Amino acid sequence: MKFSVMVNEGPYTHQASDSAYQFIRAALSAGHEIFRVFFYHDGVNNGTRLTTPPQDDRHIVNRWSELASEHDLDLVVCVAAAQRRGIVDPDEAKRNSKDGDNIAPGFRISGLGQLIEAGIESDRLLVFGD
């Protein structure tokens, strides 16, 4: 089965990110395909490389980056939600005259069309968080 996942909550404010991550790991282990993971609303905060949790805590952003690298996952951060929260890739930083970017490895910024495509191309679109 081909899944896409939408994450609507930040990495440390709600269980949605952890639950989505665990679901994807389990789905991949069971032989399913993940078409795309789309981060929306506060979920875009999963894609900032500036997250620095305490050493004894899990590093959720790094988990996503590592999972994307291991399984060639498409991690998409909504451009409008990201801009509102100060998350930019090099192109957005340049376009908006920012002095740097903060997108985490494995993530990319794009629009809602990527979410629509994920819903069309997948057997199921699962939503984690409000």
Question: In whole angstroms, what separates CA 92 from the centre of its chain?
Answer: 17
Q: How many CB atoms lie within 10 A of CB 30?
A: 8
The gap between the terminal CA atoms of the chain, to the nearest Å, is 24
Both tokens of residue 104? 């985490």
> Which of the residues are catalytic?
78
Q: How far is residue 74's CA from residue 19's CA, in Å, rounded to a whole number?
A: 18
